[in-house]
A and B are shown apart, each in its own frame.
Chain A
Amino acid sequence: SQTIHQWPATLVQPVGSPLSLECTVEGTSNPNLYWYRQAAGRGLQLLFYSVGIGQISSEVPQNLSASRPQDRQFILSSKKLLLSDSGFYLCAWSRGGSGGYTFGSGTRLTVV
């Protein structure tokens, strides 16, 4: 069966520090991968998606970047965090062009 792992669960980082959130999927190959941010009352905002290794598409301009160094690994990064980067970050995967997403457990990021 397929599983998705996302870590860490919580993170408190100072303004200006770097960020690296990691997501891995097991039990499937060539998944579509997604990074979302969820702010209170604002729903799920798609940040990045990837349909293959090294292929990254950005949905909104921001202080973040994403990379997919391996087929089932998706990384969300920042060189210098801003206060506005605080939020709940979710990784998800899907298979092909149809079907729903399976989400990770999320990372609560607080920038102080």
Chain B
Amino acid sequence: EDQVTQSPEALRLQEGESSSLNCSYTVSGLRGLFWYRQDPGKGPEFLFTLYSAGEEKEKERLKATLTKKESFLHITAPKPEDSATYLCAVQAYNRGSTLGRLYFGRGTQLTVWP
């Protein structure tokens, strides 16, 4: 069964203290891995899509990387406004289906304090 596990569940960082969030997955034929940011009381907001091992994407202080078994979301010199829950999701190849279902992890709640 396809599975996505995120760690840690919660992370507290001081402003400027860089760190990484982990997303490990088991899926038969990865079509894509997605990172989302979710602020309290709001819907998840798309950040990145990664398709193949070795791929990297960057956006401001965030950098996502992908291997064959896991993805990392690196946060460099975070600021308080980076505080949010970060969700990881994987999409598998599904022959004959137009669904493209995403399997989500439970997220990492990041708090950055000044």
Shortest beta-carbon distance from A36 to chain B in Å: 8
Q: Does B104 contact A (CB under 8 A)?
A: yes
Query: Are B102 and A101 in contact, with the CB atoms below 8 A?
Result: yes
Query: Are B42 and A98 in contact, with the CB atoms below 8 A?
Result: no
Query: Are B98 and A51 in contact, with the CB atoms below 8 A?
Result: yes
Say which residue of B45, B94, B101, B106 sits within 8 Å of A41 (CB atoms).
B106
Secondary structure dominating the interface of A? strand
Query: Are A102 and B46 in contact, with the CB atoms below 8 A?
Result: yes
Say which residue of B41, B49, B87, B100 sits within 8 Å of A108 (CB atoms).
B41
Binding site for A on B (CB under 8 A): 31-32, 34, 36, 41-46, 49, 87, 89, 91, 94, 97-102, 104-107
Binding site for B on A (CB under 8 A): 6, 32, 41-44, 46, 49, 51, 88, 90, 92, 94, 96-106, 108
